[in-house]
Chain A
Amino acid sequence: MTALAIRNGHLIDPAAGVDTAKDILLKDGRVAEIAGPGKLKHAEGAEVIDAAGLTVAPGLIDIHVHLREPGQGYKETIATGTAAAAAGGFTAVAAMPNTTPVNDSPEITRWMQSPERGAQVRVFPIGAATRGSKGETLNDFAALKAAGAVAVSDDGQPILKDGVMRESLAAAARVGLAVIQHAEDTRMAQGASMNLGPASFRLGLRGMPPEAESSLVERDIRLVSELRDAHPHLHVAHASTAAAVAAVRQARRNGLRVTCEVAPHHFLLTEEHVGLYNTHAKMNPPLRSAADRDAMIEGILDGVVDAIATDHAPHAPHEKEVEFEHAPNGITGLETALGLCLRWLHKEWRLPLGRVLSLLSAQPAALLNLKGRGTLAVGSYADVVIFDPKAEWVYRVAETKSKARNTLFDGWTMQGKVRWTICEGRVAYTNPA
């Protein structure tokens, strides 16, 4: 494998506490050397990337994506989804198991990681917590982990039964995995297609109360607390309500291993973006009230939120061109996450660049225990994103690498243009100025 020398860039590696001008040498898929500008000692013969004026950072890691394979290749494939990931600066994604069939076996877990899938960046499967994600019978977590699963979840299908959730937390703790819960008490959200509130009344749509999320988060935290001697790790997927984030904050104060992620659409948009039945604004959890949206931003700024994850949920165009209540949930997110985080979290709300990058790489890597990722310390995987932090650009969905077009961010101004995405030493995406 050829060596790559990234010269003249500004290295930000939050996990290593680096924020300075550095050259970096990638060799054999790993970070081989870091030195001051022009000081690399072993870069002879290496291909050179001139990163003058650019930020060099650990490749981004999205711990919540839907790549739709196996079984739903008409929406997205592992190849197209990861191409979108690379374009967005991501070098690793964790793929949810709600595929067809559900990824509840080591065979499917391995199938997803096979080179034949044509992945452009590293894919880490998340195994289903229960058989068929039906919330009844636990899967063999040790076998899933051995096959490469980095967590267990029934995403999309919350684990409602107390006993099954308790078992999941305990079993996952024994093999050192997190249980990722899609927190939604579906018994409180029958037929709902948006947030419950004035907007749902006005539009004549059935609403999902915020308590459907927060009550399940609170239930799960109670279970973690009961099992605290076993040290279970609960990760709350796509937190969207003030009450859920508050519950996570309190659990952490009580010393419990409870983490959470927030999606860009939940810290930027509200239920008002449903407009007049725009199905691209239909997702689960739904876009919430302005107060909930503010609480997501607050949670990110004050550190209770551990990761930004996109919940990239591609759908075929015809699936979204239907009556609002019949449209599938979800919005794509891989290509817009960095641009939105820099434009809003960093530029608008003054979150330091290092913290933004940490939420997109170091913290998610730590959360899922992805060894050697989320940092560019010597010896780590050569997963790098190189971007122009000053560049403003407009996102055009027509140019997406994803198969899907279901975004609300078409035409939005983004900050920070990805120039190179390098995954394990290989250039996965490039768009030099």
Chain B
Amino acid sequence: MNPQPRRRTFNTPAPPASPFPYHPGSLLSILDLSVDGVSRLLARATELEKQDPLKRNRILAKRRIALLFYESSTRTRTSFELAAKALGADTTLVSNLSSSIEKGESLKDTGLTLRALGAEAIILRHNSSGAPWLLEQSARLPVLNAGDGMHEHPTQALLDLRTILAHLRPGVRALGADTLAGVTVTIVGDILHSRVARSNMLMLPRLGARVVLCGPKELLPETATQSATGTLPRRQGPAAGGVEIERDFEEAMRESQAIMMLRIQAERLAGLQLDLEEYKAGYQLTGQRLAAHAPKAIVMHPGPIIRGMEITAGVADGVQSTILEQVTNGVAIRMAVVERALTAGVPSDRSPSPGWKEGGRA
């Protein structure tokens, strides 16, 4: 055998720092928010929740918000819709069953059409990762990412955080880098296809939490932890990461204060064969497991739940479950996020001319 050739490394040009400036009201990735930004949104959610509904619905009275949903979604769509309406906004739903989308109109053209119709913000759920960036760039409106493909679901991460704080850090006001120090959150199941997992693992470590990912190799590749410390341009990701993999569910449970269960996304498995009985044996959250290994942890689930698959009915309905609380928190968080979308000003470096793409925020 010949010896391995000497490995050299070379300096080549770095990727550009900023592909384009966002609207400051947009929320595409959880990393678009600083820790202070998260803190403000959570505080605002609480204020809005407590406000007199008759006063509250004057905040965005008659402002126009489009819900653009390429994937069916009951929970997220209803939550956003109720949040927008609670602030007095008019909403209109365009779904994948709408005729223009069915006829193959591009996302760019749909965005431009909604803008021309007077929409002031677009809430987008899309089955392709990255679609919100495309829409933001072409429609030049605030865009709220309500879940893109296998990528991110930032409002879910915010509502999950609100839930975690309520149980593990009650009364905490301003958030910081050590707010969740000492807390381990285990995310279990189909991490590979989960945007909920990605948004959570990008945010929780920035508040000091340790995130443990748990699942079989097919659904949780080793690259998952490297990606958390990745260095994509202009994203202020967690420097240290704080994300680990633990394949043994019960071991992970023993260290956890919060356990977040995920559904297996059958629609995204793309030919991957999974032995469901084996999966349940390894990763189903049962009453016995919970009592034996994590009797004090909170049990979270972003929904939809497949009872008897990743979680038993008893656990889903049990005292440790925060599943319905998460849903309620969703409306409060989305009120704050929708309000931010329509009240943040247009940045000075973003003139609405066709040439606005030039330059950058960074």
* Residues on A facing B (Cβ under 8 Å): 190-191, 196-206, 253, 267-270, 272-273, 275-278, 290-291, 293-294, 297-298, 302, 318, 321-326, 344, 348-349, 412
- The answer to whether the Cβ of B92 comes within 8 Å of any Cβ in the partner chain is no
On whether the beta carbons of B233 and A275 are closer than 8 Å, the reply is: yes
Partner of A322, one of B19, B134, B192, B270: B134
User: Contact string, B200-235, partner A, CB cutoff 8 A, digits 1/0?
Assistant: 000000000000000000000101101110111110
Which residues of A are found within 8 Å of B232, using beta-carbon distances?
A: 199, 202, 272, 275-276
Given contacts A272-B233, A324-B129, A294 and B13 within 8 Å (CB-CB): no
On whether the beta carbons of B226 and A276 are closer than 8 Å, the reply is: no
On whether the beta carbons of A322 and B106 are closer than 8 Å, the reply is: yes
Which residues of A are found within 8 Å of B152, using beta-carbon distances?
A: 204
A272→B192 CA distance, assembly (Å): 19
On whether the beta carbons of A324 and B233 are closer than 8 Å, the reply is: no
A291→B10 CA distance, assembly (Å): 9
Closest residue to B225 on the A side, CB-wise? A198
Which residues of A are found within 8 Å of B19, using beta-carbon distances?
A: 275-276, 278
A196→B138 CA distance, assembly (Å): 28
Given contacts A190-B271, A200-B223, A298-B8, 15 further A-B contacts (CB under 8 A): A190-B270, A199-B232, A201-B224, A202-B232, A204-B149, A204-B152, A205-B150, A205-B151, A276-B19, A277-B133, A290-B9, A291-B7, A323-B131, A325-B129, A412-B13
Main secondary structure of the interface of B (DSSP, over half): loop
A325→B131 CA distance, assembly (Å): 9
On whether the beta carbons of B10 and A318 are closer than 8 Å, the reply is: no
Partner of B221, one of A201, A267, A290, A291: A201
Closest residue to B220 on the A side, CB-wise? A201
- The answer to whether the Cβ of B351 comes within 8 Å of any Cβ in the partner chain is no
Which residues of A are found within 8 Å of B106, using beta-carbon distances?
A: 318, 321-322
Closest residue to B231 on the A side, CB-wise? A272
Which residues of B are found within 8 Å of A204, using beta-carbon distances?
A: 129-130, 148-152, 195, 198
Partner of B5, one of A270, A278, A298: A298
Given contacts A201-B221, A201-B224, A322-B107, A277 and B9 within 8 Å (CB-CB): no
Which residues of A are found within 8 Å of B301, using beta-carbon distances?
A: none
A206→B233 CA distance, assembly (Å): 20
B262 to chain A, nearest CB (A): 14
Question: Shortest 10 CB-CB distances between A and B: which pairs?
Answer: A204-B151, A277-B130, A204-B150, A323-B128, A204-B129, A202-B227, A198-B226, A198-B227, A201-B227, A201-B223
Closest residue to A250 on the B side, CB-wise? B2
Closest residue to A293 on the B side, CB-wise? B12
Closest residue to B195 on the A side, CB-wise? A204
